[in-house]
Copies of this chain bind each other. A is one copy, B any other.
Amino acid sequence: MSHYRTRLVSPGPVDVPPQVLEASAKPMIHHRSAEFKQIFLATREKLAKLAWVPGEDVLILAASGTAAFEAGLISSVPKGAKVIGINAGKFGERWVKVAKSYGYEVVEMKLSWGEVADPAEVAKLIAQHPDAKALMTTHSETSTGALHDVAEIAKAARKQNPDLLILVDCVTSLGVSEVKPKDWDIDGMFSGSQKGLMCPPGLAFAWLSERAWASAADNKGTLNSSFYLDLVKERKAQQKGETAYTAAVSLVRALDAALDLILAEGIVALWRRKKQMNDAILAAGTALDCEIFAKRPSPAVAALKVPSHISAPAVVKAFAKRGMEIAGGQDESKPYLIRPSVMGYFDRYDVLAVVAALEEVLAELGQQVTQGLALGKAFNFLQT
């Protein structure tokens, strides 16, 4: 046995607070019981608050975040329609694939990993495709640690096409970074339980705008079919405190407990704290000659390019020896990227653990390191 405490510092799944684990392990109750209905309605209410759409429907699905995005797309955008997809990483790429698999006509805006979409360029593309029905984008691109400026992208896109459905993957931004679907005038917000919500994986969330619900109703006969991923049916059930199919009862209880913790801290305070912690890791990383990978960093993932003579997989392995699971890069970024994350059950002192380990590990792998310099920098950062 290692003498280290185990820390899951990856961009999802994340460490789950003991109170949340405990809630998930409560004796089973029936998903159609009055007791569960009450829990479900209360959880939905809290979730809508966190999603900055109080009183509206944020649907809770027994599925992964991918399914929520897929459901949002096929429940609102007619079969074969033209859709624009911003692809600046693994998840942007995934939504393009999902749309193609259904036979949508996809116009892809392909960017290098680490880049974010320029709102003006997005507007230009929309102007070139006035017949596009939807724009798909990630908010926090987990594979690169970049945060697209969805507020500005949506503003520019809306100006070009007032009817455009703007569908946004908020899987690693909800509960981590500012997410304001209505202020931004977007049409779909999708997320999952195992990221900012600090729950076990297995639940997905979907919010649609009135514009998207209207599109679902207007295009009823020309939507792609799905029985399980039909958000219109799901909405009807959930407004009554039910689910179309059996709810993942224990995970909903976990979510309820997690939302209590999150709302007690305060949503705006949480956003601020997550950003501060992530910035501290990035600052310490640069002090250790790592490079901040994303042009516009997301607070969900401290994506750092390690010095060129160091192997990122070796860094990940050395972290694991210290009880800390950070993620490495995906696909092309595997050799050089590390992705620790401050999401989930993670506090200011955990930042120091991650930075101290990074110092030690880089030194171990042959990097010149002034002991304590990066750690001190991070510590200073946490005082602001």
Contact = CB atoms under 8 A, between A and B. Distances in A.
Contact of A202 (B14, B98, B224, B251): B251
Interface stretch (A21-29, A49-57, A371-379): A21-29
Interface stretch (A226-234, A265-273, A303-311, A355-363): A226-234
A245 B327 CA distance: 16
Contacts of A384: none
Interface string A1-12: 000001010101
A62 interface: yes
Contact of A225 (B12, B14, B15, B224): B224
Contacts of A31: 13, 201
Contact of A27 (B12, B16, B67, B227): B16
A138 interface: no
Contact of A25 (B13, B15, B25): B25
Chain A interface size, under 10 / 10 to 19 / 20 to 34 / 35 or more: 35 or more
Interface in A295-348: 325, 327
Nearest to A73: B227
Given A13-B30, A14-B28, A248-B201, A228 B62 contact: no
Given A62-B64, A63-B67, A248 B28 contact: no
Nearest to A14: B28
A4 B101 CA distance: 53
A320 to B, nearest CB: 9
**Oligomeric state, in copies:** 2
B33 A103 contact: no
Interface centre among A64, A98, A249, A325 (most CB of B within 10 A): A64
A227 B13 contact: no
A63 B62 contact: yes
8 contacts: A8-B29, A13-B30, A21-B25, A21-B250, A28-B194, A101-B227, A192-B246, A200-B250
Nearest to A10: B30
B16 A228 contact: no
Contact of A63 (B25, B194, B228): B228
B249 A200 contact: yes
Contact of A103 (B12, B16, B28, B225): B225
A248 B33 contact: no
Interface in A235-249: 245-249
Interface in A189-238: 192, 194, 200-202, 224-229
A349 interface: no
A261 to B, nearest CB: 15
Which interface residue of A28, A101, A228 has the most chain B CB atoms within 10 A? A28
A228 B70 contact: yes
A245 B229 CA distance: 15
A13 B27 contact: no
Contacts of A247: 201
User: In this complex, which of A14, A22, A102, A194 has the most chain B Cβ atoms within 10 angstroms of its Cβ?
Assistant: A194
A15 B33 contact: no
B13 A246 contact: yes
Contact of A21 (B27, B200, B202): B27
B66 A245 contact: yes
A200 B27 CA distance: 9
Given A22-B25, A25-B22, A101-B225, A246 B12 contact: yes
A180 B16 CA distance: 39
Given A31-B201, A202-B250, 9 more contacts: A13-B29, A15-B28, A24-B24, A30-B327, A63-B228, A64-B245, A64-B246, A101-B226, A192-B246
